[in-house]
């Protein structure tokens, strides 16, 4: 094996695997700290997530959200930007869905209403990302800070709108009226029913396929188009990009608009697919989860699908686990997310020196032989 | 005495109370970022601190042990941040995000498993928390017009952590601008190479700064759960760590302005609480959410360069690599 090839394999496979393993080793320590047998818990988790049709449906439904936010974070990462604002962009995407559906669901047919609502989700998510993007590109303010601030602003705005403007009067919780049925996305049990295949009813809907399509589209965009090439160039080396005639400001805007749009699509799955009304906190945790998904998936669409599936399974399996084990809450998933971000993100190169030492010995042997 | 004056006094009194955790956390961020380590993880460190303080105060019945526990746990998270961002030169923002998410998850998971109250810790009795202390002559001053209420009702009657937080501002100023350590700390955040050339370890200095930040976040957390409230509630920091970060940016990374930014943000919060559902003459009802978001809006406007120039420490967020 040539040294360069060995290095490539170390970066692509060995390091990420070690990082994720470390995160899971620490997770088992947390299990032990709360007095739960990690093996029993893992069995229950897997059974809850994949053991029966309804469980699979929930797993893939959560996966859908994580794919959208994971792609959102990843595309910004490729441009060298850290978008922490997925949470707020998803929230405002929901506002777009809500406004369109509440305005038009009385008279537009599903075939026009649904695409319009999806477009609104993406546009509003993109719009919410556009301001931090503009401030980063043209005014030099740091996008991490502004996207954090915009998460809080989104949350305040939504509370205000749902409590004072959009909310249905006389409701206990601030939420809008139910959407008309013409806005409902078909669920998997309905879609498979068209072909005579029975599938247990679950929140899983057509958005999952849409999410997979978005993965493909992001892959094509990043690696097969000129814009994608320019975006990755800016992320890899802004100076070289300028020298090559690329305007990094335009790329920052483009990357963040796409990123915000993708995050906004969470609202499609949640509101058009499942909740059928606009409500507080439907976005909770998916924006931050997307960071873990993108880091774990190495910012590649295929990796993101796999990482999203893992987190979807943990969400669903974790819910199941908390039924059976009163000592456990689903918030355990949050711990795992944190650990993944820590070990696959911040401590990404923790094992690099050891690997390098090991590799150099190994490769040298090869050369001398 | 007019009703307005009484209202003003009670609002300012509340301002001091809600500014305190912001001030602890803001100063924590100041130490860390002036040394060149970005600290998005203030929120998370406050949260674990709050949890540790309430848990230990409940278990031992001694509030000071709770405070010590908060400081220890918060410093451990700080060291984790240091390990990732100083030793391994990882992305400091990613590390901070990890700490926040980890803190949120761990406190919920451990809280439920250990105390069985849906993630909260049991309520603390008054002996197990920091309670109000009366400043000298507070009672006899009460009757003096204007100055009396100002002293007795606003300045007096807070717990010791409030006074400590405010005392830390001049102390921090003195450390930053009048001690050798402070000079080096500021230098390592502006030009670490120069510090390194002078034979001073960049890593050691940054670790010291990060540890101080951990200690201060521990105070902030303990204040939330054992002084301002009487138990830990899940996610009880509710964005105050980010608010402190906003205050730090708003203050352009300087000690006295941090105090004013925290007081301003605290005042807005205190006003928002009082304006809930109140209709003002000529204006009507002001949306509470608008006032609550003002700190964030102001910070964004400042960052955009519309309110003067934001000038972060030059090496803030950049890992230091020695030349080979």
Least confident of A230-244, A262-276, A347-361, B49-63: A347-361
Contact B105 A337 (CB under 8 A): yes
Structural domain contains residue A42: no
Structural domain contains residue A187: yes
**Percent of chain A's residues with pLDDT above 90:** 68
Contacts of B96 (CB under 8 A, 6+ apart): B38, B39, B40, B41, B44, B81
How many domains does chain A divide into? Answer: 1
Q: In terms of pLDDT, which residue wins out, A258 or B235? A: A258
With a cut of 90, say whether residue A103 has pLDDT above it: yes
With a cut of 80, say whether residue A12 has pLDDT above it: no
A334 touches chain B (CB under 8 A): yes
Considering A72-86, A185-199, A319-333, the range whose residues carry the highest mean pLDDT is A72-86
State mean pLDDT over A286-304.
93
B92 chain-A contacts, CB cut-off 8 A: 346
**Backbone angles phi and psi of B159, in degrees to 5:** -85, 170
A336 touches chain B (CB under 8 A): yes
With a cut of 50, say whether residue A275 has pLDDT above it: yes
Q: At what angle do helices B288-303 and B255-275 cross, to 10 degrees?
A: 160
State mean pLDDT over B241-254.
92
Contact A341 B88 (CB under 8 A): no
Sorting pLDDT into bands at 50, 70 and 90, what band is B131? confident
pLDDT digits (tens, 9 = 90+) for A40-51: 888 999 999 999
The CATH class given to the B3-127+144-303 domain equals mainly alpha
pLDDT digits (tens, 9 = 90+) for B38-92: 999 999 999 999 999 999 999 999 999 999 999 999 999 999 999 999 999 999 9
With a cut of 70, say whether residue A273 has pLDDT above it: yes
**Backbone angles phi and psi of A179, in degrees to 5:** -70, 155
With a cut of 60, say whether residue A23 has pLDDT above it: yes
CATH number at residue A244: 1.10.3470
With a cut of 60, say whether residue B275 has pLDDT above it: yes
Q: Write out the two tokens for A89.
A: 């962009």
A165 touches chain B (CB under 8 A): no
Structural domain contains residue A324: no
State mean pLDDT over A111-129.
96
Q: In terms of pLDDT, which residue wins out, B321 or A300? A: A300
Sorting pLDDT into bands at 50, 70 and 90, what band is A363? low
Q: CA neighbours within 13 Å on the CB side: how many for A296?
A: 31
* C-beta contacts of A323-330 below 8 A and 24+ residues apart: A324/A44, A325/A36, A325/A41, A325/A44, A326/B116, A327/A34, A327/A35, A327/A36, A327/B112, A327/B113, A328/A34, A328/A36, A328/A41, A328/B109, A328/B112, A328/B113, A329/B108, A329/B109, A329/B112, A329/B119
Using CB atoms within 10 Å of the CB of residue B279, give its burial: 0 to 12 exposed, 13 to 18 middle, 19+ buried.
exposed
Q: In terms of pLDDT, which residue wins out, A369 or B61? A: B61
B245 chain-A contacts, CB cut-off 8 A: 145, 148
Structural domain contains residue A24: no
How many angstroms separate the CA of residue A93 from the nearest CA in chain B?
20
Sorting pLDDT into bands at 50, 70 and 90, what band is B260? very high
- Best CA proximity match to B107, nearest among B28, B161, B43, B64: B43
Contact B95 A141 (CB under 8 A): no
**Percent of chain A's residues with pLDDT above 70:** 97
The alpha helices in chain B, defined as continuous H runs, are: 3-34, 42-60, 63-82, 92-115, 138-141, 147-149, 160-178, 180-190, 192-197, 202-223, 240-250, 255-275, 288-303
Domain extents for chain B? 3-127+144-303
pLDDT digits (tens, 9 = 90+) for A143-163: 998 999 999 999 999 999 998
Measure the CA–CA gap between B36 and B317, rounded to whole angstroms.
Answer: 6
Using CB atoms within 10 Å of the CB of residue A85, give its burial: 0 to 12 exposed, 13 to 18 middle, 19+ buried.
buried
State mean pLDDT over A52-65.
94
Q: Give the pLDDT of residue A2.
A: 63
Q: Which of B100, B109, B287 is the closest to A329 by Cβ? A: B109
A82 touches chain B (CB under 8 A): yes
How many angstroms separate the CA of residue B239 from the nearest CA in chain A?
8
Using an 8 Å Cβ cutoff, are B162 and B268 in contact?
A: no
With a cut of 70, say whether residue A321 has pLDDT above it: yes
Domain that holds residue A289: 58-305
Least confident of A258-267, B35-44, B119-128, B198-207: B119-128
Burial B69-96 (b: 16+ CB within 10 A, else e): bbbebbbebbbbbbbbbbebebbbbbbb
A307-B105-B258 Cα angle (round to 5): 110
Structural domain contains residue A23: no
Using an 8 Å Cβ cutoff, are A271 and A283 in contact?
A: no
Mean pLDDT of chain A: 91
B198-B200-B206 Cα angle (round to 5): 130
How many angstroms separate the CA of residue B208 from the nearest CA in chain A?
20
Q: In terms of pLDDT, which residue wins out, A8 or A71? A: A71
Q: Give the pLDDT of residue A369.
A: 43
Q: Which of B85, B100, B109 is the closest to A34 by Cβ? A: B109
Question: CB contacts < 8 Å between A and B, how many?
Answer: 155
Q: Give the pLDDT of residue A299.
A: 94
Mean pLDDT of chain B: 91
Q: Give the pLDDT of residue B5.
A: 86
Q: Give the pLDDT of residue A368.
A: 47
- Best CA proximity match to B76, nearest among B59, B51, B112: B51
Q: What is the full DSSP assignment across A340-355?
A: HIIIIIITTTTTHHHH
Measure the CA–CA gap between A69 and A90, rounded to whole angstroms.
Answer: 8
With a cut of 90, say whether residue A140 has pLDDT above it: no
* Best of A34, A174, A342 to mutate (most B CBs within 10 Å, chain B): A342
**Percent of chain B's residues with pLDDT above 90:** 63
State mean pLDDT over B180-199.
94
């Amino acid at each position: 094996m040539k040294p360069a090839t060995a290095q490539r394999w170390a970066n692509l496979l060995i390091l990420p695997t070690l990082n994720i393993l470390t995160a899971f080793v620490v997770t088992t320590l947390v299990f032990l700290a709360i007095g739960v047998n990690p093996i029993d818990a893992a069995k229950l988790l897997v059974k809850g997530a994949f053991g029966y049709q309804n469980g699979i449906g929930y797993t893939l439904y959560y996966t859908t959200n994580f794919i959208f936010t994971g792609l959102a974070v990843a595309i910004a990462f490729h441009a060298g930007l850290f978008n922490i604002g997925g949470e707020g962009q998803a929230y405002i995407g929901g506002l777009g869905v809500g406004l369109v559906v509440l305005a038009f669901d009385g008279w537009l047919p599903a075939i026009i209403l649904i695409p319009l609502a999806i477009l609104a989700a993406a546009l509003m998510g993109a719009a919410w990302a556009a301001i931090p993007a503009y401030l980063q590109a043209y005014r030099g303010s740091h996008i991490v800070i502004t996207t954090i601030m915009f998460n809080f602003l989104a949350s305040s705005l939504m509370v205000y709108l749902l409590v004072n403007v959009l909310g249905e009067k006389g409701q206990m919780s601030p939420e809008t009226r139910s959407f008309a049925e013409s806005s409902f996305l078909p669920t998997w049990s309905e879609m498979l029913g068209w072909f005579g295949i029975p599938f247990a009813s679950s929140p899983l809907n057509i958005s999952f396929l849409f999410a997979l399509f978005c993965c493909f589209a992001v892959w094509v965009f990043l690696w097969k188009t000129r814009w994608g090439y320019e975006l990755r160039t800016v992320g890899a080396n802004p100076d070289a990009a300028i020298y090559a005639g690329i305007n990094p400001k335009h790329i920052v805007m483009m990357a963040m608009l796409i990123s915000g749009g993708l995050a906004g699509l969470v609202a499609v799955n949640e509101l058009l697919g499942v909740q059928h009304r606009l409500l507080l906190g439907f976005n909770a945790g998916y924006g931050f989860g997307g960071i873990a998904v993108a880091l774990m998936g190495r910012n590649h669409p295929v990796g993101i699908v796999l990482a999203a599936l893992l987190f979807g399974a943990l969400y669903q399996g974790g819910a199941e686990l908390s039924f059976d084990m009163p000592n456990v809450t689903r918030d355990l998933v949050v711990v795992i997310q944190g650990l993944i971000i820590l070990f696959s993100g911040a401590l990404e190169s923790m094992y690099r020196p050891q690997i390098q030492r090991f590799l150099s010995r190994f490769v040298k042997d090869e050369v001398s032989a | 005495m007019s009703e307005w004056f009484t209202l003003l006094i009670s609002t300012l009194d509340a301002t001091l109370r809600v500014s305190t955790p912001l001030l602890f956390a803001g100063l924590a961020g100041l130490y860390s970022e002036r040394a060149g380590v970005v600290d998005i993880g203030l929120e998370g460190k406050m949260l674990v601190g709050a949890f540790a303080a309430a848990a230990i105060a409940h278990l031992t019945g001694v509030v000071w042990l709770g405070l010590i526990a908060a400081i220890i746990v918060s410093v451990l998270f700080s060291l984790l941040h240091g390990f990732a961002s100083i030793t391994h030169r990882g992305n400091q923002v990613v590390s901070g995000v990890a700490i926040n998410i980890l803190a949120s998850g761990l406190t919920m998971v451990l809280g439920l498993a250990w105390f069985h109250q849906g993630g909260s810790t049991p309520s603390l009795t008054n002996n197990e928390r920091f309670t109000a202390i009366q400043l000298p002559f507070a009672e006899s001053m009460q009757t003096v017009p204007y100055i009396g209420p100002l002293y007795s009702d606003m300045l007096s009657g807070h717990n010791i952590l409030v006074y400590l937080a405010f005392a830390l501002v001049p102390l921090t100023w003195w450390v930053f601008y009048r001690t050798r350590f402070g000079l080096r700390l500021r230098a390592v955040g502006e030009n670490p190479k120069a510090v390194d050339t002078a034979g001073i370890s960049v890593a050691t200095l940054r670790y010291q700064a990060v540890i101080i930040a951990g200690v201060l976040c521990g105070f902030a957390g303990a204040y939330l759960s054992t002084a301002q409230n009487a138990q830990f509630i899940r996610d009880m920091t509710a964005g105050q760590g980010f608010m402190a970060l906003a205050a730090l940016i708003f203050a352009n990374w300087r000690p006295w302005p941090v105090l004013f930014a925290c007081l301003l943000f605290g005042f807005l919060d205190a006003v928002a609480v009082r304006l809930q559902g109140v209709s003002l003459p000529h204006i009507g009802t002001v949306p509470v959410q608008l006032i609550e978001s003002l700190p964030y809006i102001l910070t964004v406007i400042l960052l955009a360069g519309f309110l003067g120039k934001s000038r972060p420490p030059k090496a803030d967020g950049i890992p230091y690599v020695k030349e080979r």
